């Protein structure tokens, strides 16, 4: 469900944005009272609930709050704590999320109470910093998207910038120095109460499992000097704000024009597309990151010639191809990894152990997975990859029906469950197989 920002809050955000845009050196000193405003907290609650996150270390979920003291009373208590300045952040629950390469990524889950306060703070802070962010930054910003970042890369490829620095930052979220981050925030916000809130969240203890499997503090605390946990509502804004320093130095020193290179950044993922050699742009990038106390992951950062090979960005494989007329054009499709990921998900939904479930539920879950994948990847040159996924989804549902109805012969199952029956009788979502081009290429 689409959440609409109330006019009063939208008006406030617009005023903050315009003030920040018109006066680049202005520092905001009276923001704290906006955070505990009832309308701001109500919207923050609705946004946090819409994200459907799990409970934090206190184990309190949305249902418990709604059936207990009620949302209005819950928010009233938070508002009073903020007004009295007696609010103290709770600990963060760490969960480990498996990555595609088999390693684990730590995710920090604050309590719902802390997520609501963080969201309220974000609603007030974001318009101010949005006025400063550069055009080539696309991650976690209003009215910016991954597809716009892909379009920017495509435009650079059209311009002949086919030598690509595919950059990877080493443990970025764990490396952000608090002192420099707070100095960056203070360039715009000097309200001490707001800065104190941010300090609390940066130094919140993180509770995870120790070596013996018991709950223990694994990081954080007052001695913490670096890092912001992934998973907090405010973390994307803070991490984006810190890397804005990279954008700003790149822009102010006119590095792109001098070196004929384009920077495209989506949060902590970025690429530099060069018309000629890559050593100078790479050296400039390392110099900037060194000033920020950040480092490139040398093993994962690579130079790619987009005329000869593809590079991965935001789930897409990007390269240039030759048209029939001999003109090079950007060729962008869902990556092989993203195709394998959706295939694995379809296999899980239609596995042998799922035949006990009503067929309507199985098809519902299939369609949900297919529509979600399609809504993101049906973009530009998607025909071949979409045909693979479409065919796989039909095969998996057909196999599932064979197991469910004990049809042993494959030929019989093809006759009994052709594509038309899968789509019309069982309601399987039919993936589009026409390329999702934004515009025709040569």
Ranges of each domain in the chain: 7-94+106-132+178-225, 245-332, 335-425
Task: Identify the H or E element spanning 269.
Answer: strand 269-274
DSSP state of 354: G
CB 261 within 8 A of CB 273: yes
- Alpha carbon distance 64, 60 (integer Å): 6
Give me the pLDDT at residue 105, please: 81
pLDDT at 217 over 90: no
Tens digit of each residue's pLDDT (9 = 90 or more) over 275-289: 989 999 999 999 999
Give me the pLDDT at residue 229, please: 78
Residue 306: both structure tokens together? 């987009």
- Alpha carbon distance 24, 131 (integer Å): 8
- Alpha carbon distance 389, 401 (integer Å): 18
pLDDT band of residue 102 (cuts 50, 70, 90) is low
pLDDT at 215 over 80: no
pLDDT band of residue 436 (cuts 50, 70, 90) is low
Tens digit of each residue's pLDDT (9 = 90 or more) over 49-86: 999 888 999 899 999 999 999 999 999 999 999 999 99
Beta-strand pair 302-305/311-313: unpaired
For the chain, give the mean pLDDT: 91
**Which residues neighbour 162 within 8 Å (Cβ) at sequence distance 6 or greater?**
273, 275, 305, 306, 307, 320, 328
DSSP state of 138: -
Beta-strand pair 302-305/206-209: unpaired
Tens digit of each residue's pLDDT (9 = 90 or more) over 150-191: 999 999 999 999 999 999 999 899 899 999 999 999 999 999
Lowest-confidence region among 119-123, 221-225, 342-346 = 221-225
Tens digit of each residue's pLDDT (9 = 90 or more) over 6-38: 999 999 999 999 999 999 999 999 999 999 999
Tens digit of each residue's pLDDT (9 = 90 or more) over 284-314: 999 999 999 999 998 899 999 999 999 999 9
- Alpha carbon distance 118, 127 (integer Å): 15
Give me the pLDDT at residue 437, please: 59
pLDDT at 440 over 50: no
């Amino acid at each position: 469900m689409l959440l609409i920002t109330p006019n009063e809050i939208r008006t406030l955000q617009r005023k903050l944005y315009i003030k920040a845009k018109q006066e680049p050196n202005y520092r905001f000193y009276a923001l704290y009272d906006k955070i505990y405003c009832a309308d701001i907290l109500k919207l923050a609650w609705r946004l946090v609930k819409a994200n459907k996150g799990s409970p934090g270390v206190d184990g309190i979920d949305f249902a418990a709050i709604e059936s207990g003291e009620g949302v209005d009373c819950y928010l009233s208590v938070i508002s009073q704590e903020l007004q009295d300045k007696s609010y103290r952040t709770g600990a963060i629950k760490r969960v480990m999320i498996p990555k595609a390469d088999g390693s684990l990524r730590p995710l920090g889950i604050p309590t719902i109470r802390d997520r609501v306060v963080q969201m309220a703070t974000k609603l007030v802070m974001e318009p101010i910093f949005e006025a400063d962010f550069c055009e080539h930054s696309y991650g976690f910003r209003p009215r910016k998207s991954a597809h716009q970042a892909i379009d920017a890369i495509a435009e650079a490829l059209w311009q002949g910038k086919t030598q690509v620095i595919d950059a990877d930052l080493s443990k970025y979220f764990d490396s952000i120095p608090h002192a420099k981050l707070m100095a960056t925030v203070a360039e715009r916000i000097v309200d001490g109460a707001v800065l104190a809130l941010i300090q609390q969240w940066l130094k919140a203890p993180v509770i995870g499992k120790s070596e013996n499997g018991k709950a223990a503090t694994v990081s954080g605390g007052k001695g913490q000097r670096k890092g912001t946990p992934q998973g907090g509502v405010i973390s994307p804004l803070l991490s984006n704000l810190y890397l804005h320093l990279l954008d700003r130095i790149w822009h102010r020193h006119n590095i792109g024009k001098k070196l004929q290179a384009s920077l495209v950044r989506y949060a902590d993922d970025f690429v530099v597309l060069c018309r000629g050699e890559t050593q100078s742009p790479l050296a400039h990038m390392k110099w900037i990151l060194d000033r920020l106390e950040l480092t490139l992951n040398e093993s994962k950062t690579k130079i790619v010639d987009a005329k000869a090979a593809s590079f991965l960005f935001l789930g897409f494989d990007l390269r240039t191809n030759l048209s029939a007329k001999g003109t090079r054009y950007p060729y962008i499709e869902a990556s092989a990894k993203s195709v394998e990921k959706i295939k694995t998900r379809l296999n899980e939904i239609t596995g042998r152990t799922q035949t006990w479930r009503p067929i309507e539920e199985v098809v519902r879950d299939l369609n949900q997975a297919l529509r979600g994948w399609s809504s993101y990847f049906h973009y530009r040159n998607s025909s071949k990859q979409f045909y693979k996924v479409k065919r796989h989804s039909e095969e998996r549902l057909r196999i599932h029906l064979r197991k469910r109805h004990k049809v042993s012969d494959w030929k019989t199952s093809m006759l009994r469950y052709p594509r038309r029956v899968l789509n019309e009788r069982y309601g399987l979502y039919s993936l589009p197989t026409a390329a999702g081009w934004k515009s025709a290429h040569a």
